Amino acid sequence: MTFYTYQYLKGGQTNWTMIRIIVVVVLALAFLFFLFMYSRHRWNHKYKDLSIILATLLLLAAAIQYSDYTNLRTASLQSGQLTTVIDKSAAKLKVNPEQISINDTSRNNDMIIKTPKGYYTLVFNSSGSEFLLQRADLYHPDITVIGE
């Protein structure tokens, strides 16, 4: 079973955002350069071909970047909800939120949290606004904690 720490959830799960943005910018600059070279040397078709290839790559990279952005935004909202749940759980259990780990990165019913006081199951009400902490005993847990 994999648990995720409070720091991992607050820090986000991706480090590649800046690298992807740099790739899109480099592709855009290369496209503009080859487009400029084609406009100066119309008789040389290699610049036209390179411009078309780079325009295709640029559109593909921009589409991937947009898709990743929407996924990151969704994950960020879910992580925000989970950190709120961890904060409320820590207050109820009177422990530091940094000592709590949770077994999922998206909120659902019957999640398990790992605390210094033991394992607890989170059971949410139908609207998801409140939850119940119920002590849980795990038999032979194979635990991996990500974010320590």
The pLDDT value recorded for residue 32 is: 92
Q: What CA–CA distance (Å, rounded) separates 90 from 117?
A: 11
**143 pLDDT exceeds 70?**
yes
pTM summary value: 0.58
Phi, psi of 37 (to 5 degrees): -65, -35
SS3 content of the chain, % helix, strand, coil (to 5): 55, 20, 25
DSSP 109: S
The pLDDT value recorded for residue 24 is: 87
Write out the two tokens for 137. 């005993």
Q: What CA–CA distance (Å, rounded) separates 70 from 54?
A: 24
Q: Which domain holds residue 72?
A: 2-146
pLDDT band at 14 (very low <50, low <70, confident <90, very high): low
**33 pLDDT exceeds 90?**
yes
Question: For residue range 65-76, what is the model confidence (pLDDT) as tens digits?
Answer: 888 778 777 766
Per the structure, the count of domains in the chain is 1
